[in-house]
Structures are given as C-alpha cells and as structure tokens.
Chain A
Amino acid sequence: MVFIIRRIIQSLVVVLVMSLVVFVGVHVVGDPVHILISDDMTQEEIDAFIRRLGLDRPVHEQYFHFLANAVRGDLGNSFVYGEPALKLILQRMPATLELAFGAFLLAIVFGIPLGMYAGLKPDSAASRAIMAGSILGFSLPTFWVGLMLIMVFAVMLGWLPSTGRGDFMTWEGLRHLALPAFNLALFKMALVTRLARAGTREAALQDYVKFARAKGLSPSRVVLVHVLKNILVPVVTVLGLELGGLIAFSVVTETVFAWPGMGKLLIDSIQRLDRPVVVAYLVITVLMFIVINLIVDILYSMLDPRVRLKEAKA
C-alpha cells in the first residue's frame, strides 16, 4: 500500500515536471505568441490577446496562470472549430483508445504464443520463420503497410471497409476496426514476439523448470504456469510502456484509415496551424503516459512478489 502511494507521488512530480517542459517548450522556446495566435489576426487583436493571456507578464506568473487554467481544463479554443481545445480532444479520445486497445490485444494474443513457441523450440524451422517474420514486422513502415492492407483487403478483395469507424462493439464496428488495429499492432507484435522468445529461452534453461519436470508435471503445466508467469514480468513491463507508444503511434494509422481519433485531429491541426488543439493533445497524451507508467509499475509489483517485499523493506 505504501508502495502505491509512493508511486503516485512520484508520478505527480513527473506530471509537474512535464507541465514545466510543455510550458517552457510552448511559451518560451517557440515564440509563444506565434504559436498560440492564429495567423490572420490584426495587430490590435494580437495585443489584446497577449494581454488577455498575460503573455506580457513575467514568466513565472505566466506559468502559474497556465497551470491554473490547465487544472481547470481551459487550454484555449480551437481556431478552426471555435470550441475548447480540450473538449475536442476528449471527444476523439474514445476512438483512439478503441484502436490502441484493439492493437494491444492483438499484439498480446498473437505475440506471446508465437514468441513462447519460438523460445521453446529455438532450432525448429517454425521458430526461425517466426523470428524472420518478427524482423519483417518491425522493419515494415506502418503507414505503407496500412496502404497495402487497404489495397489488398478493401480494394482488391473487398472483404473489409477501408476507412471510418463503426459503432463500438458491433459487428460493423469490428469490421472497421480490423484493418487499422492489425496495422497498428504489427510493429508491437514483432517486438512482443522477440521479447517472449528471449524470455522463454532464458526461463526454459532455469533449474526450476527442470525441477518441475522432475516432479512429474505435465509439459503443458510446466509451460503455461511456470514459464509463462516468469516471462510475464518483463513482457508486461515493456508492453505497458508500449501501450503509450500505441496511442501515440495511432496518429499514423488514423491518418491512413481516416479513423476519427485524436491522432488524426492532431495532424490536421498541425497542418491547419490550429495550435491550441496541438497543445491540448500534447497535454492529454503526456498525462496518459504518466498514468500508464504508474499502472504498469503497480502491476509489476503485483506480478513479481520479490519487488513488493523489497519496496516494503526499503
């Protein structure tokens, strides 16, 4: 319990640091006015804007102002839509999360078994094929694969729709989700496979596996209980961090498949110079990251009992 509280406090510190970084990045490094105003304001409007945002005040005052606003959820209004930037981002978040979780599940469901198989029989032809496939998986540029998937499955074969999103958890929704989720998952799947393989190879050589066999346990139990639980720890840690990466990388997949998530909004906003939305996206994503890291740490301690006790003693 103490462990969890300590991690939460650590995360809050990181959040604060990140807010400082974002603030410095947006307000100080980039020309703050330049970034936050739209390009077609008159000089008067610009001056009024500057005064309203307090950009003519000293930097630390600006920072507190920024924090106060941010905590209240006010990150400015979108130039294009005129609505609060935060609201726009949050509206799109479920779509992105659906995509990211879909990809996450696919990566685990396919990656771990494939990796474990390759690790248990490292010299078999299947194992070598799996490893070759994994290198292919993380060399393939995601956006290009997306295009190819569209071409093959939507244009040539006509099995799956190429763009857009269906309703959550419906058959149509899943049909629309299939290609983008698979596309996004490919890269991570390759990584998970490699990780699972390395972990399984290492675990299989350990004495406790031999001891489990000496007890006369069935091979499936040895693998599924003893080996799996041991590789779960490193795999989960990496996967958890990768979830954040998935959310960030969905930017690409959303663009290719016209999936209405945060990522597509971000790219559109960058191109349309809708800067408040960009800032809102960054803030939300960074926050999500930190929360995910926190959850991963907690999960890690639950899965590996040795960590729990070490922290308790510390």
Chain B
Amino acid sequence: MRVEDLKTHFFTRAGVVRAVDGVSFEVRPGEVLGLVGESGCGKTVTGFSILGLVDPPGRIVGGRIIFDGTDLLQLGEARMRQIRGARIAMVFQDPMMTLNPVLRIDTQMVEAVRAHQDVDASTALRIARDALERVGIPSPDSRLRSYPHQFSGGMRQRVAIAIALLNRPKLIIADEPTTALDVTIQAQILYEAQKLCRESGTALIWITHDLSVVAGLADRICVMYAGRIVEQGSVDEVLDAPLHPYTHGLIGSVPSRNRRGAPLAQIPGMTPALVNLPPGCAFRSRCPRAQPRCTEQPELQARNGRLVRCFYPL
C-alpha cells in the first residue's frame, strides 16, 4: 500500500485542525511499519483515514491511498465496505470498548466472516474457532459462547486480533493495541503478531507512542509530529542514528536509555495544539537547534535512503 500526501482536516468551531497534513509512506507485503508519535500527532487519524472511518467534523481533503492498484479515496462506500474487514483490517486500542458488551463473541466473529464470505453459519463458526486457536486462546468452543466482559484484557485483545485475521487481510492496521495491557502480555502479543505476519505475508502498520515496542517489532519506522512525518527509515538506522531532533529527543527520553542518577532527559515544552498551527516547522519552539530559517516549512529530504523533514538534521 502506498499513501501519498494524505490530508485529513477537522473543521471545528474553534478552527481547522490539520490532524494529518501531507503524510506519505509505503508498506510492502509482509512488512511491519511502525508509525510512532506522541498523542495528538495524528497517527490514529491516519489509520482511520486509510479505512475511510473518519467521522465528521473530520474529512479527508487531499491525497491518494493506493492499495492493490486502486486509489481507496476514489472508491464509493459500498466498495470500501467490501475492503474493510476483508482486505484491510484494523485492531483498536481498548478491546473492552471495541467489542460490543451485549453480544456474544461468536456473534461478533461470525458476522465479520459472513459480511465478506458467502458461507453458512456453521462454516463461519468453524473459521472463528480456528482463528481463536491461532491466537492462542484455550478452549475456544466455550470461549465463543462467552461475552466480552468474561475475558481478561489480554485475551480480549487476542480476540480482536483474531477478528482482524478472519478474512485473511493483506494489511492490518493496529492502533496502539497493547497500550492498555500489562507489559508481559504486551510482549506475548507482540511476538505472536510478528510471527503471524511472517507466516501469512500480511503487512502490518503498528501505531504506537512507545518506541520500545516498535524497536523489536518493526522493519521500518515513520515518526510523526503535528500531523506530518518528520523522519522515515529502517528501524535500525532511525533508532541508532536519528536525524531529526524530535526523534533524537524521543529516543533520549525513554527511561531505560537514561543513566541512573542523572536527571531524566526530556523534550522541553508541550506538543502544540493542532488548531491554527503557526507557520514553519512545528517543532521549532521546542528544538534546541532551531534557527531563523525554521520559520519556513521544511520539506522531506532524502539522506542515505532515509527521509527527514528538517533544515538542520543531526
């Protein structure tokens, strides 16, 4: 899939919020792309934009999303519905809220199957059962007849992943799926997600704010800030030798990176509100390397096979 210059804006009473402002990236089959950034940088909206799930007052105002040869943004709602859940699937952040609390698990899984495959109920049930087994849920038959609140958080998220896998999608968008879980469960799920993708050749976009998660999982990484991608490259390159000051700050502020006893490094200031952003580089007010030239908007430059949006990269 290739995203080209995607722009999604929210038209609120307080002003226009440019949640996604010219984002471009590419995901190849079987590849894991990490989309990293702080809360409010637009990464979740990017995920929703790909699936066409942006609700008013938001609207996709520009760009192209090329998937399997077609531009998704040109497709009508009926065609998009065929793609959603079948060729592109999504896993949300909080499984308690994404699974309907008054419906049984089998109902919610079978409907996802039958929306895209012309099978009868018992076949659909079998597919659901197999999916639950694949994500490592014990005694799937009884689990199918349970309700979401009867599962623990980690199990619920596995169910959500199982649902995403039901129709063998080519691309899965995972929006902070492990943020709400314990660290140990998180590690398990990360491992299993990686394994599944390798085995089935599914591409995965993993959206997170946690660099440590992405470090072990992704092949390539995009760093987002204030609605734009500020750095892009392979995981090793970006994390070992970051080019953008923001990326550098992010890596530096991960607790395990800091020495014991020394004050914790942080990026000064706060993420800017996306309403009515001032012109120029959005990171300017917090950047230790800012110069007068930074009042202009930097474009993405190529540097040794990577991309960075800065006039003065490291």
Q: Per the CB under 8 Å rule, do A and B touch in the complex?
A: yes
Binding site for B on A (CB under 8 A): 206-208, 210-218, 221, 225-226, 229-230, 233, 303-306, 309
Identify 30 residue pairs between A and B in the complex whose beta-carbon atoms are under 8 Å apart, listed by A's number. Answer: A206-B97, A207-B98, A208-B97, A210-B92, A211-B90, A211-B99, A211-B160, A212-B100, A213-B53, A214-B90, A214-B92, A215-B84, A215-B89, A215-B111, A215-B112, A215-B115, A216-B81, A216-B86, A216-B115, A217-B81, A217-B85, A217-B112, A226-B100, A229-B100, A229-B103, A230-B100, A305-B147, A306-B147, A306-B149, A309-B149
Asked if B138 is an interface residue, CB under 8 A from chain A, the answer is no
Cα A206 to Cα B53 in complex, Å, equals: 13
How near does chain A come to B111, taking the closest CB pair, in angstroms? 6
**Given the interface contacts A214-B90, A215-B163, does A305 sit within 8 Å of B102 by beta carbon?**
yes
Contacts of A221 in B (CB 8 A): 111, 115
How near does chain B come to A41, taking the closest CB pair, in angstroms? 60
Cα A212 to Cα B115 in complex, Å, equals: 11
Asked if B94 is an interface residue, CB under 8 A from chain A, the answer is yes
Question: Which residues in window 85-134 of B have CB below 8 A to A?
Answer: 85-86, 89-90, 92, 94, 97-103, 111-112, 115-116
Tell me if A306 and B101 are in contact (CB < 8 A).
yes
Contacts of B81 in A (CB 8 A): 216-218
Asked if B51 is an interface residue, CB under 8 A from chain A, the answer is yes
Tell me if A303 and B102 are in contact (CB < 8 A).
yes
Tell me if A216 and B112 are in contact (CB < 8 A).
yes
Cα A206 to Cα B99 in complex, Å, equals: 10
Tell me if B115 and A208 are in contact (CB < 8 A).
no
Cα A175 to Cα B312 in complex, Å, equals: 84
Q: How many residues of B contact A (CB 8 A)?
A: 29
Asked if B83 is an interface residue, CB under 8 A from chain A, the answer is yes
Contacts of B94 in A (CB 8 A): 207
**Given the interface contacts A216-B112, A217-B111, A221-B111, does A230 sit within 8 Å of B102 by beta carbon?**
yes
Q: Who on chain B is nearest to A204 by CB?
A: B55
Cα A229 to Cα B101 in complex, Å, equals: 10
How near does chain A come to B98, taking the closest CB pair, in angstroms? 4
Question: Which residues in window 144-169 of B have CB below 8 A to A?
Answer: 147, 149-150, 160, 163
Interface centre among B83, B90, B102, B149 (most CB of A within 10 A): B102
Tell me if A216 and B116 are in contact (CB < 8 A).
yes
Contacts of A206 in B (CB 8 A): 97
Question: Which residues in window 231-258 of B have CB below 8 A to A?
Answer: none
Cα A225 to Cα B112 in complex, Å, equals: 13
Q: Who on chain A is nearest to B149 by CB?
A: A306
Tell me if A214 and B149 are in contact (CB < 8 A).
no
Cα A229 to Cα B103 in complex, Å, equals: 8
Tell me if A214 and B97 are in contact (CB < 8 A).
no
**What 0/1 readout, one digit per residue, does chain B (63-83) give for beta carbons within 8 Å of chain A?**
000000000000000000111
Contacts of B98 in A (CB 8 A): 207-208, 210-211
How near does chain B come to A70, taking the closest CB pair, in angstroms? 41
Q: Who on chain A is nearest to B84 by CB?
A: A216
How near does chain A come to B155, taking the closest CB pair, in angstroms? 16
Contacts of B84 in A (CB 8 A): 213-216
**Given the interface contacts A207-B92, A305-B147, does A216 sit within 8 Å of B82 by beta carbon?**
yes
Contacts of B53 in A (CB 8 A): 210, 213-214
Contacts of A211 in B (CB 8 A): 90, 92, 98-99, 160
Contacts of A305 in B (CB 8 A): 101-102, 147, 149
Cα A212 to Cα B112 in complex, Å, equals: 8
Q: Who on chain B is nearest to A210 by CB?
A: B53
Cα A14 to Cα B78 in complex, Å, equals: 55
Q: Contact partner of B99 among A208, A216, A218, A303, CB < 8 A?
A: A208
Closest CB pairs A-B (n = 3): A216-B85, A216-B84, A215-B85
Q: Who on chain B is nearest to A203 by CB?
A: B100
Tell me if A225 and B103 are in contact (CB < 8 A).
yes
Contacts of B55 in A (CB 8 A): 210
Cα A182 to Cα B101 in complex, Å, equals: 35
How near does chain A come to B58, taking the closest CB pair, in angstroms? 13
How near does chain B come to A199, taking the closest CB pair, in angstroms? 12
Q: Who on chain A is nearest to B146 by CB?
A: A305
Cα A191 to Cα B281 in complex, Å, equals: 53
How near does chain A come to B101, taking the closest CB pair, in angstroms? 6
How near does chain B come to A215, taking the closest CB pair, in angstroms? 4
Q: Contact partner of A229 among B85, B102, B111, B116, CB < 8 A?
A: B102
Contacts of A303 in B (CB 8 A): 102
How near does chain A come to B134, taking the closest CB pair, in angstroms? 18
Tell me if B111 and A207 are in contact (CB < 8 A).
no
Extra contacts, 14 of them, besides A215-B84, A226-B103 (Cβ < 8 A), are A207-B92, A208-B100, A214-B53, A214-B89, A214-B92, A216-B86, A216-B115, A217-B112, A221-B115, A226-B100, A230-B101, A230-B102, A233-B102, A309-B150
